[in-house]
Amino acid sequence: MEPRAGPHPTRYHLGMNLASPSPTRRLSPQQVLERARNVLAIEAAAISALSPRLDGDFVKACELLLACSGRVVVTGMGKSGHVGNKIAATLASTGTPSFFVHPAEASHGDIGMITAHDAVLALSNSGETAEILTILPIIKRLHVPLIALTGRADSTLGRAANVVLDVSVPAEACPLNLAPTASTTATLAMGDALAVALLEARGFTPEDFARSHPAGSLGRKLLLHVSDVMRTGNDLPKVAPDALLREGLLEMSRKGLGMTTVLDASQKLLGVFTDGDLRRVLDKALDLHTTTMQTVMTANPKRAKPRMLAAEAVHLMDLHKITALPVVDDNDIVVGALNIHDLFRAGVM
């Protein structure tokens, strides 16, 4: 089948869009870099300009959010809404319960998500966003604190707010001064400033952060215990002290841990036999069929406890240049074992 006649596929070249109805000028690579650097300079200046504006209003905003017994409800339309989503997520992950409500959806039922125990953080560069102004009377009727992040303190939103945080910028990074660029960057930075100030005021700790991020690397390091990753039951390599070296090697091979524990009749730890011990045995040319484990094991080895953080086990292995650990309870009864590969798989390393 012959292809249908029609316009050529849209093709993009540096500085030229063939699908554009109006002519465009071609930019040299150097001009492209200059434009990009100019954008970064404008946005960096917009953030720097916020610092002198931090005053009693910022402190009052933090006090209102700290005193909130419910949730911090963040709202914004368009690009401000995208920034608001990120601010809400940052607040929630740093100890300030928060969520985002789309102002247009709020007018169609979602306003019920805001309760009298909440506080509202409203984002609007103009302060005249129609969707936000529509729900202002309901927010005021609930008597919840309203904090505005706006570029115009004298706007309708600014006048209605309990606190106004000025995020105005002299110009957008967009050469048309239309697309929200510097203004959204400034708003995002102000949101981060609020979140971090609240984090420190609450005494938020790395452990608190980890509880909010259990799937992240920090969460795994601070929340995962040895008992969560150790091998137990039939996967635990163990032999008696009078077992022959040959039996010990077979146990190591079957369990694939790179070592075996040596236990007495009550399952107390007497020692371990590792790959390193095997190399030393081979150097001595000992007989596999007559040598017993108690004569070649490493007595009083390093050990872990079940409630030890997995990250501590990593540190213990690093410190003593070992790759596996037996795990014992308070009575020195062996309850498990783990090696460096178990910790890798758990994402602790």
Mean pLDDT across 292-305:
94
Confidence check: pLDDT of 4 > 70: no
- Residue-wise pLDDT for 242-290, tens only, equals 999 999 999 999 999 999 999 999 999 999 999 888 888 888 888 888 9
Mean pLDDT across 78-101:
93
Percent helix, percent strand, percent coil in the chain, to nearest 5 = 45, 15, 35
Topology of domain 226-345 in CATH is: CBS-domain (3.10.580)
Strand ranges across the sheet with 259-263 = 238-239, 259-263, 269-274, 298-299
Share of the chain above pLDDT 90, in %: 69
Give pLDDT, residue 237.
95
Q: Where are the domains of the chain?
A: 32-204, 226-345
- Containing 335, the helix (H) or strand (E) segment is strand 334-339
Confidence check: pLDDT of 210 > 90: no
- Inter-residue contact 338 to 304 (CB < 8 Å): yes
Q: State the pairing for strand pair 72-76/119-124.
A: parallel
Give pLDDT, residue 9.
42
Chain centre to alpha carbon of residue 165: 27
Domain 32-204 of CATH type 3.40.50.2300: no
- Residue-wise pLDDT for 149-198, tens only, equals 999 999 999 999 999 999 999 999 988 887 899 999 999 999 999 999 99
Mean pLDDT across 336-340:
93
- Residue-wise pLDDT for 11-22, tens only, equals 344 444 444 455
Q: HSE of 65 in the Cβ direction (CA atoms, 13 Å)?
A: 33
Confidence band of 211 (pLDDT split at 50, 70, 90): low
Give pLDDT, residue 6.
46
Give pLDDT, residue 84.
97
Give pLDDT, residue 8.
42
Confidence band of 41 (pLDDT split at 50, 70, 90): very high
Distance separating the N- and C-terminal Cα atoms of the chain: 57
Measured CA to CA, the distance from residue 117 to residue 176 in angstroms comes to 42
- Residue-wise pLDDT for 100-138, tens only, equals 999 999 988 899 999 999 999 999 999 999 999 999 999
Give pLDDT, residue 87.
97
Residue bearing the bigger pLDDT, 154 or 312: 154
The 3-state DSSP class for residue 172 equals: coil
- Mean pLDDT across the chain: 88
Q: HSE of 260 in the Cβ direction (CA atoms, 13 Å)?
A: 26
Confidence band of 333 (pLDDT split at 50, 70, 90): very high
